[in-house]
Every structure is written in C-alpha cells, then in structure tokens.
Amino acid sequence: MTTTDTTGRTGNQAARRAPASRPFFKPSDFVLEAILLVIIVLLAFTAPGFASWDNAMNILRNAAMTGIIAFGMTFVLILGEIDISVGSGLAFHGCLLAVVTESMTNAGWSAETAVAIGVLLCFGIAILAGMFTGWVRHALAVPTFITTLAWMAAFRGGAYLLTGSFPVTPYPEWFFFFGSGAIFGIPFQAFVFLLVFVVTWFISRYTVFGKSAYAVGGNAESARLSGINVLGVRMAVMSMIGVFTVLSAIMVSSQIQAGNPTVGVTWEFTVITACVIGGVSLMGGKGRVWGTFVGVLFLSIMLNGMTLLNIDEYWQYVARAILILGAVLIYQVQAMNARRG
C-alpha cells in the first residue's frame, strides 16, 4: 500500500517530472483551415477578380459586420445559451443612433456631441438588455432562446416606431468614415474586426472570466458549487454580445449613411452559421474564438466567390446549407473518433 501525502513533500518531485509528451501540431485540428486554403486557391484560378486587393478588402469589409457579432455569439454559445435578437438589435441601435443624432442636432447640439450621446445610449440599452436576459435565465430559468425571441420582436418593433419606418439620415460627412473609410488602404471595419478578434481571443484563453464562461457552459451546477459567480458570467456574456452588436450597428449605419429599420434581417443566423462552421458547440462548453474567426472568413469568401462566379443567389442558400451540415458532420465524426480513442 502506498501512502498518499497531502503535505506537499512530494510535490517538488512531481513538478520535476517531465511533462507528458503531446504532439505540438496535430493535422486533424486544422481541417477547416486546410479546406479554406484549398477553396481560396480554387477561387483564385476560377473566379474572375477574386485574387485582387480590392476584392480581398471587400471580403474583409463584409466579414467584419457580422464577424464582430460572431465573436460575442461565440461566448454566448460557449455558455450554452443563444441570442437570436442580434439582427433586430442591429436595426434598433442603428435607428436609435440616427434618431438621437437627428433630434439633438435639430435642437442645436453639435453633431459630434449628438453621435457620442447616441452611441452611449445604445451601449447602455444593450448592456441593460443583456443583463436582464442573463438574470432571467439565471433566476427564473427562462431559456435565452425565449428571452431573445422577445428582444428580437421588441427591437424590430422599436426600430420601426423610432423611425416611422423610413430611413433617417442625420449624419455629417465624417461619420461615413466608420463604414467606408480606410487606413493605408485597409477598411476601417477590418481594424475593428481584428481588434475585437484579438480581445475576445485573449479573454477566452487568458482570463479567469473566460475560463469561468467555459465552466458555466460545461456544467453550470459544478461551476456554481465551485463558487464561480454564474449569474455574473451570464449577465456579462449576454451584455458583451449587445456591445458588439452596437459596434456593428455604428458601422452599418455609417456605410448606408442612415438609420434603417429593415437592416439585419436573418443576421442572427449568419452569425450562428459562422460560429458553427468554426466548430463552436451549441451544447455549450466548447468552442474557440479562432475557430469563429476562420468560420467568418470561410463564409464570406464562399459567398463572395459564388457571386463572382455568377452563381444564382438561390443556389447560394443551398451552398450555405451544405456548408453548415458538412461542418457539423465533420466535427461530430471527429468528436466520436476522439471518444473512441
């Protein structure tokens, strides 16, 4: 019989033991990246105009709008929750910003002040809405699907009510930079997209909060009984996606130069599609921000390539379906193989 020592006398010995060997690079971890690479090469040769700087920037610009929200959605899905209100949220925040800007400039405020106040108001509402969703989920066990279904209706309705269903166009020239401007030839959105990617990637890998989110998504009861602030994590994550939705709304408004209540329809599904392609599990506890990053690019490049190849828009829907199912099937087979050892 060996004795078990909890005083730590053998701790150093254990620490000195060589770490278990694990392959640094596993090809099976990079299936998605490899497929994307192949597609890029194929499109470069077949799609007219695909392999050009302008087209690459075009792809980035389009990817950025949904991509920013997808990073928030990654955390929501890791938590085992869902947010289907982001498309309507996009419209609502865009309209709110436009209406606030319009009324304040009409009342004699400067456009700068008006936009700043409008943005702060949007952030405030998004954060409060997210906190409410997280709290209702936690305290009353209302699924986030239901709560965000309600938000979806409320935001869309709010967007129409605020604008009287017509686009509102109060913005000064400088505001259009966020949607159409570029720095060193790279669209402004791309920088925001990359910034949000780096920040969320860092949070997911190198913070207590990120680890807590995985824990709550993996098993909320175990997390609670380990003293993790489950309510706090839920409220923070649901607020975070709201904040990213507002960022996206600002850039969309800037690009279309208006607050328009009809934007963002079915965006929630595009966003979730990107996450799923990137390997984020809807069961919670699993998913990588990097995966979502690749998923967003994958989706944008596919759609861009098909448009350049003059493929009918209806066929593009079919391609999307194949993409989602194909990705999920590959991940499931991989997971099953891993389980079998």
Binding site for other proteins (CB under 8 A): 1-8, 10-11, 13-15, 17, 19-20, 22, 205-212, 214-215, 218-219, 221-229, 285-286, 341
CB of 15 to other proteins, least distance (A): 5
Distance CA 109, CA 96 (A): 17
CB of 41 to other proteins, least distance (A): 33
Of 175 and 331, nearer to other proteins (C-beta) is 331
Of 145 and 206, nearer to other proteins (C-beta) is 206
Of 17 and 310, nearer to other proteins (C-beta) is 17
Pairing between β-strand 182-183 and β-strand 186-187 as defined by DSSP bridges? antiparallel
CB of 263 to other proteins, least distance (A): 36
Do 280 and 292 form a contact (C-beta atoms < 8 A)? yes
Q: Residue 172, Cβ neighbours under 10 Å: how many?
A: 13
- Residue 321 is given by DSSP the state H
CB of 214 to other proteins, least distance (A): 7
CB of 205 to other proteins, least distance (A): 7
Instruction: Using alpha carbons, select from 56, 57, 88, 82 the residue that is nearest to residue 70.
Output: 82
Of 19 and 27, nearer to other proteins (C-beta) is 19
Of 18 and 107, nearer to other proteins (C-beta) is 18
Of 106 and 222, nearer to other proteins (C-beta) is 222
Do 177 and 254 form a contact (C-beta atoms < 8 A)? yes
Of 167 and 285, nearer to other proteins (C-beta) is 285
Instruction: Using alpha carbons, select from 293, 239, 259 the residue that is nearest to residue 169.
Output: 259
CB of 87 to other proteins, least distance (A): 30
CB of 337 to other proteins, least distance (A): 13
Do 109 and 268 form a contact (C-beta atoms < 8 A)? no
Q: Which residue has the tokens 């053998």?
A: 10
Distance CA 182, CA 315 (A): 33
Angle, in degrees to the nearest 10, between helices 230-256 and 208-218: 110
Instruction: Give the count of alpha carbons within 13 A of 79, CB side only.
Output: 31
3-state DSSP assignment of residue 276: helix
CB of 18 to other proteins, least distance (A): 11
Of 65 and 230, nearer to other proteins (C-beta) is 230
Q: Residue 298, Cβ neighbours under 10 Å: how many?
A: 23
